[in-house]
Copies of this chain bind each other. A is one copy, B any other.
Amino acid sequence: MSAALLERYRAVRARTESLAALLSPEDQVVQSMPDASPTKWHRAHTTWFFETFLLKPRPGYRVFREGFEFLFNSYYETVGPRLARPSRGLLTRPSAAEVSGYRAHVDQAMLALLAALPPAAEPLVELGLHHEQQHQELILTDIKHAFACNPLRPALVPADERAGVAAAPPQRWLALPGGIQRVGHGGSGFAFDNETPAHDTLLQGFRIAGRPVSVGEYLEFVGDGGYRRPEHWLSDGWAMVRQEGWEAPSYWERRDGRWLAYTLAGLRELDPAEPVCHVSYYEASAYAAWAGKRLPTEFEWEATARSAGAAGTAIEALRVHPAPLQPGFRQDVWEWTASAYLPYPGFRTAPGAVGEYNGKFMVNQMVLRGRSCATPPGHERLTYRNFFGPAARWQFSGFRLAEDA
């Protein structure tokens, strides 16, 4: 057994609870749309993962409560039936306190298990921890969506004291030559299966923006009638603009002629120096067309990030909103790429239920690369493939531009 793994287990599990501690039991029960989940459900589901895949197969383990496997299975068909996703917000019971009890019960059994864990089981524990970190990010994005539906626009954390409005650093374009590039995860550390196998890909020469598009730049698009002119938009994107009445990124609202942005620290003025975020792939694509550019592919992004040495330190403190743009490749928003979410050459799903982790979602989604302000420490990775449908806007999603060389 690895003491480091045990320590990581404690740290990751504790971080989930520290996020939840910002929320009342009432906050934790609500589900504001089918794509989002209640905080309480996130806390229980990540626990269910360890219970189901690590503890239940061990003789002598006693489940915390019958019925939880039905309530807290997310999408594992192989494991059994489950609560319909849009009904997660109806679970007033078990209470948040009972879920705390569930977490404690499983943690106790897990710590005992970890103390004598066969090395062959370590990857599953690792998977469980990275899985929980993904849900930590969702706790923030999901509660942001719920709070934004509340006409009172409550704040999760106090507003910080931003010193005036700084300017974003000037855009600097990087040129990369064409040729065969090695992409994907091939090293020894943890990666999700969808990042493997590492393989060669052929890139053509390209230029890529040194930083994501800023709020200030995006405002020009909005002001230029970007949401009223179909010629920039993908056909499905334009249909969404009309159907949903989109006029700006999500969480922007116009009051008295000015755009404000709702953040988890409350409603406030736009900061032109921030990366634009809460945009869909459709909006990223339309902006790029308007600007005469395109989005980078995921491999252009990865090759650039690798050459820029961008996989460094992570965000340590709680951040509920992207920081203003800084010099450097890595910023605080997930970045939409021009790549559809598809399996890499040679990709194979794992046998059994954990094989459902990623593979079955490889259609109808686009890849995002990078990380966001909500990504937990230690969860960032140069080869990381995040993915959402092209209309999704509730993540901290922005984008950068590229063009052919």
Contacts and interface: CB of A to CB of B under 8 A. Distances in A.
A256 to B, nearest CB: 17
Contacts of A24: 25, 92-93, 95
A200 interface: yes
A364 B236 contact: yes
A32 B90 contact: yes
A97 B42 CA distance: 25
Interface in A2-37: 24-30, 32
A152 interface: yes
B30 A92 contact: yes
A180 interface: yes
A313 interface: no
Chain A contact residues: over half helix, strand or loop, or mixed? mixed
A404 B245 CA distance: 45
Contacts of A199: 204
B92 A26 contact: yes
A8 to B, nearest CB: 29
B363 A281 contact: yes
Contacts of A180: 202
Contacts of A171: none
Contacts of A152: 67, 71, 93-94
A202 B294 CA distance: 22
Interface in A86-114: 87, 89-96
A282 B93 CA distance: 33
Contacts of A233: 360
Given A199-B204, A231-B77, A90 B146 contact: yes
Interface string A226-239: 00001101111110
B202 A201 contact: yes
A92 B234 contact: no
Contacts of A236: 361, 363-364
A151 B361 CA distance: 27
Interface stretch (A210-218, A315-323, A337-345): A337-345
Given A77-B238, A235-B360, A345-B404, A26 B95 contact: yes
Given A90-B150, A92-B146, A204-B345, A362 B234 contact: yes
A389 to B, nearest CB: 9
Contacts of A91: 150
Could you say which of A78, A150, A342 has the most chain B C-beta atoms within 10 Å of its C-beta?
A150
B67 A27 contact: no
Nearest to A29: B26
A32 B89 CA distance: 9
B96 A26 contact: yes
A173 interface: no
A78 B202 contact: no
A340 B25 CA distance: 43
A346 B89 contact: no
Given A26-B92, A93-B154, A364-B364, A346 B404 contact: yes
A78 to B, nearest CB: 6
A337 B48 CA distance: 37
Contact of A235 (B75, B83, B404): B75
A102 to B, nearest CB: 13
Nearest to A355: B231
Could you say which of A67, A93, A233 has the most chain B C-beta atoms within 10 Å of its C-beta?
A93
A70 B150 CA distance: 11
A95 B75 CA distance: 32
Contacts of A398: none
A393 to B, nearest CB: 15
B235 A30 contact: no
A128 interface: no
| Closest 7 A/B residue pairs (Cβ) | A340-B340, A202-B202, A77-B230, A27-B92, A26-B92, A235-B360, A90-B149
